[in-house]
Structure 1
Amino acid sequence: MIAVSSGNHGQAVALAASELGLGATVVMPQDASEVKVAAVRAYGANVVNQGVTGENREEVATQLAADHDLRLVHPHDDPLVIAGQATVGTELLDQCQRVGVRPRVVLVPVGGGGLLAGICLALEDRLPGVTVIGVEPALGNDGQQSLAEGRLVSLARPPDTAADGARTLHLGGLCWDVIRSRVSRIVTVTDEEIAHACWWLWSRCKLVVEPTGAMTVAAALRGPGDLGPAGLSSIAEGDPAEVICILSGGNCTP
């Protein structure tokens, strides 16, 4: 099989292929995190990154899949991948149930939208009324623009952001079909806020979280008002509430 990834999806495909006794190739941008490249290789996958950019990586993967008869596993725009990412929402609910917490707001990092779409689908029946908010880098707010305009918006080039998992041009089409009707809003955070969130998680919580995964905490650290009328400020004063921040990766370059 073959996948295109900035790193985290590539690790998942590499591990799955290894468990099934299959070969895996992962197409990654030439400037991908060295930590993520090393992790993909450690799971046994072949990494193709020479001359690969954020703009052409899907084209390269599609061509390699056709040339070598490989099954392409898309990082987000695939119903089975979305279903897999939905298990994060199921895990969230199971953990909250064990400690007696009912989430009112869930913040989710947004790149191609697979994780956001999956969590929406996982929560909509088991947790009706929950507010789901996506978080994007300010330099790559295609999802925010898409919700505002009611159509799928694509960026001209991959955003130059530290959140490498969100260097996408646009949301996946399947993801957009889910997100457009289920996500309250998408907010953005600056790279400076992301860096502060990474430091805060490390210094206060002793957690190593990569920039993309820390975007949710960056948004939460701003305070309730900044998440808007559909966010934390919609919770009545005195009403017990829990805010969940999805931390979607810990592959940090030292």
Structure 2
Amino acid sequence: MKGEPRPLHEAVRHTTLVESERLSRRLKARVALVSETFQHTGSFKFRAAYNLASKVPQELIVTASSGNFGQALAYACGLLGKRAIVVMPATAAAVKIEAVRDYGATVELVDVNTRSRAERVAELAEAFPLAYVASAYDDPFVIEGNASLGTEIANLDRELDCVLAPVGGGGLSAGLIQGLRQAGSRVPVLGAEPLLANDAARSLQLGRIVANACEPQSLADGARTLSLGRCNWEILRKEMAGIVEIPEWAIAEGLRLLFELANLKAEPTAALSIGALLAEPERFRNRSVCCVISGGNVDPGVYQSLLARAG
């Protein structure tokens, strides 16, 4: 008989606080980096995946992922004696596809130009009716898991003017807000979203969920979602302080600055929060900003080319 799974706060690695005077001077703000690059499987997604996998009764979990949630779910399922099937775009970073397989999950690749990941997930759900179909971002267990990062930020006991976090489907930012508020912090949370994939920004402006027509091909592959999740929207429409739309040049430049000035390897999506300070410098000038660096899983060749093109 299986024992009880470890609680989330024991299973995760507590986030890493990184401070760089050089980076703060370059960005003209007081920047604190909350880095999830050293989390299990290299991103914040382990928080959500472990929380979900430990709380649902199903032994098989099916999901769609561009890579990070798939890795995290595969690893979490391995720890808990469960199985995972991960539907990924054929254009996903090779390092992420390989990692999902290495952690023990079955990978299904789809050409997103001809069919969506959601279609393949629906087919798998029909083929495996006893499986739990997990969204990488639109699930109460996902939000609850990500809230643990908000709690850790609140416990840093720092005077912050705002928290900046990447936005794709909204699971991270919704979780951050939930965790911060539960810990008694009222610090504003701002989203950083690629301009090429600005459905969240448009949704906040219009007061309803707006979807992208197709999967946006931003450098920030973790933000290539069609729309915000409905569970997340209920939190974000009330509590999100705003969204900064990041041009592609600022994503690449943010990645380079993290490498050069903070000695931190980040994936493009994780560099969105730094991209926000580059895109709207006056908004954050001389402010105390907590930038969430969401993960560091990036293909070596892609990373090298991005470092070369930035600057």
Aligned partner of residue 48 in structure 1, secondary structure: strand
Long gaps (5+) in structure 1: none
Distance 1:136 1:66, change over 3 A: same
For the pair 1:248 / 2:294, whether they are aligned, the reply is yes
User: Any conservation in 2 of the 1:52–1:60 contact (CA below 8 Å)?
Assistant: no
User: Any conservation in 1 of the 2:154–2:185 contact (CA below 8 Å)?
Assistant: no
User: Any conservation in 2 of the 1:55–1:157 contact (CA below 8 Å)?
Assistant: no
For the pair 1:5 / 2:65, whether they are aligned, the reply is yes
Give the share of equivalent positions with the same residue, in percent.
41
Residues 75-128 of structure 1, C-alpha deviations (whole Å, 9 max, x = no match): 01110011111111122223x13xxx2222000100000001010111124344
Amino acid at match of 2:180: L
Q: Distance in 2 between matches of 1:174 and 1:54?
A: 28
How large is the Cα RMSD of the aligned pairs? 1.7
Which position in structure 1 is the counterpart of 2:151?
Answer: 90
Shift in Å, 1:134: 0.4
Shift in Å, 1:207: 0.6
Q: Distance in 1 between matches of 2:296 and 2:174?
A: 21
Distance 1:21 1:129, change over 3 A: closer
Query: When the two structures are superposed, what TM-score results if normalisation uses the length of structure 2?
Result: 0.73
Which position in structure 1 is the counterpart of 2:218?
Answer: 161
Amino acid at match of 1:68: F
Amino acid at match of 1:247: I
Q: Distance in 2 between matches of 1:220 and 1:54?
A: 36
Residues 124-153 of structure 1, C-alpha deviations (whole Å, 9 max, x = no match): 243443111001001010000011111111
Q: Distance in 1 between matches of 2:204 and 2:180?
A: 20
Amino acid at match of 1:196: E
Aligned partner of residue 180 in structure 1, secondary structure: helix
Amino acid at match of 1:79: P
User: Any conservation in 2 of the 1:141–1:188 contact (CA below 8 Å)?
Assistant: yes
Which position in structure 2 is the counterpart of 1:202?
Answer: 259
Distance 1:52 1:46, change over 3 A: farther
User: Any conservation in 2 of the 1:194–1:214 contact (CA below 8 Å)?
Assistant: yes
For the pair 1:109 / 2:166, whether they are aligned, the reply is yes
Which position in structure 2 is the counterpart of 1:180?
Answer: 237
Structure with greater proportional strand content: 2
Higher RCO structure, 1 or 2 (CA under 8 Å, sep 6+): 2
Distance 1:128 1:90, change over 3 A: closer
Shift in Å, 1:11: 1.0
For the pair 1:73 / 2:134, whether they are aligned, the reply is yes
Q: What does 1:12-161 align with in structure 2 at a 5 Å threshold?
A: 12-52=72-112, 56-69=116-129, 70-94=131-155, 96-97=156-157, 101-161=158-218
Aligned length: 239
Distance 1:194 1:67, change over 3 A: same
Residues 145-203 of structure 1, C-alpha deviations (whole Å, 9 max, x = no match): 01111111111111121100001111001111110000111111111110011111011
Q: Distance in 1 between matches of 2:183 and 2:82?
A: 36
Distance 1:52 1:148, change over 3 A: closer
Amino acid at match of 2:236: I
Aligned partner of residue 186 in structure 1, secondary structure: strand
Q: Distance in 2 between matches of 1:146 and 1:182?
A: 14
User: Any conservation in 1 of the 2:85–2:107 contact (CA below 8 Å)?
Assistant: yes
Shift in Å, 1:51: 3.7
Query: When the two structures are superposed, what TM-score results if normalisation uses the length of structure 1?
Result: 0.89
Moved runs in structure 1, 4+ residues, more than 4 A? 52-55
Aligned partner of residue 160 in structure 1, secondary structure: coil
Aligned partner of residue 189 in structure 2, secondary structure: strand
Distance 1:41 1:23, change over 3 A: same
Q: Distance in 2 between matches of 1:23 and 1:39?
A: 15
Shift in Å, 1:59: 1.8
User: Any conservation in 1 of the 2:164–2:273 contact (CA below 8 Å)?
Assistant: yes
Q: Distance in 2 between matches of 1:24 and 1:224?
A: 42
Q: Distance in 1 between matches of 2:115 and 2:293?
A: 26
